[in-house]
Amino acid sequence: MLEIKDLHASVQGTEILKGLNLTVKPGEVHAIMGPNGSGKSTLSYVLAGREGYEVTGGRIIYCGEDLTDLEPEERAAKGVFLAFQYPVEIPGVPNSTFLNEAVNSVRRYRGEEELDKIQFVKMLRAKTKELGMSDEMLKRAVNVGFSGGEKKRNEVLQMAVLEPKLAILDETDSGLDIDALKIVADGVNAMRSPERSALVITHYQRLLDYIVPDKVHVLAQGRIQKTGGKELALELEKSGYADFKGEAA
């Protein structure tokens, strides 16, 4: 699914990722944990192709294809989804309009027929029902006036609608109470299948109680420092990241 080889990436001339290696197989959920400033968010932005996050070395192979030169929307159309740590507000654009545009953009890119209004609404209703969300959220402008929990739920809804092959969750748990956390986790778990993979980026072990990972990696100083099973997360919860901060600036 995803193979990152010796990835180096810079932001405004500063190297943040310094030779990162990571392999995620289809159907696997990997957790990436690490201290602040270790490059977790940079990794998610680099994977999504954000402008200003420059790959200076190495390769990102996704489903057998190098992503490095693709635009963000092309990566999205190929099934890469990033759940944002801070979802962005788009005033005046109803959530349903945004989702409709997103779904049909992706379908157009893949050469599939666009969904008409009726098909789309039907699909959307089914997804909100599955996730236990209200239809009212669809009428409101994208993330405008949403509480922190609502914003994250909205990210999960978008993920459910777009059905990505690779979902990257960038600290989706930050600022969530336990109920919201469960909803988010349920959404992610519902997507789990032998064809889909997820990269869960988080500070805390808490989320991993609900989304149980196949592997846990410690990212520090721009590299994966340690890899283990789900028990590694528990260890980290106890011992902290002190062991990995050795050469931190």
Partner 1 sequence: MAATAETVEQVKSIAGEKYKYGFVTDIESDKAPKGLSEDIVRFISAKKNDPEWLLEWRLKAYRRWLEMPEPKWAKVDFPAINYQDYHYYSAPKQKGDGPKSLDEVDPQLLETYKKLGIPLHEQEMLAGVQNIAVDAVFDSVSVATTFRKQLEKVGVIFCPISEALERCPDLVRKYLGSVVPVADNKHACLNAAVFTDGSFVYIPPGVRCPMELSTYFRINEMNTGQFERTLIIADKGSYVSYLEGCTAPMRDENQLHAAVVELVALDDAEIKYSTVQNWYPGDENGKGGIYNFVTKRGACRGKNSKISWTQVETGSAITWKYPSCILQGDNSVGEFYSIAITNNAQQADTGTKMIHLGKNTRSKIISKGISAGKADQTYRGLVKISAKAEGARNYTQCDSLLIGDTCGAHTVPYIESKNKKAIIEHEATTSSISEDQLFYLRQRGISQENAVALVVNGFCRDVLQQLPMEFAVEAQKLVAISLEGSVG
Task: Report the length, in residues, of the chain.
Answer: 249
82 contributes a contact to partner 1 by CB under 8 A: yes
Token pair listed for 235: 């260890």
52 contributes a contact to partner 1 by CB under 8 A: yes
Segment interacting with partner 1, rule: CB under 8 A, options 2-10, 65-73, 172-180, 183-191:
65-73
d(CA 38, CA 248): 9
Interface residue with partner 1, options 17, 38, 84, 154 (CB under 8 A): 84
Interface residue with partner 1, options 30, 32, 81, 196 (CB under 8 A): 81
Q: Work out how close the CB of 24 gets to partner 1 at its nearest, in angstroms, rounded to a whole number.
A: 19
Is 71 or 237 the residue whose CB approaches partner 1 more closely?
71
92 contributes a contact to partner 1 by CB under 8 A: yes
Applying CB under 8 A, the residues found at the interface with partner 1 are: 48, 50-52, 71-73, 75-77, 81-82, 84, 87-93, 97-98, 101-103, 105-106, 109, 141, 158, 162
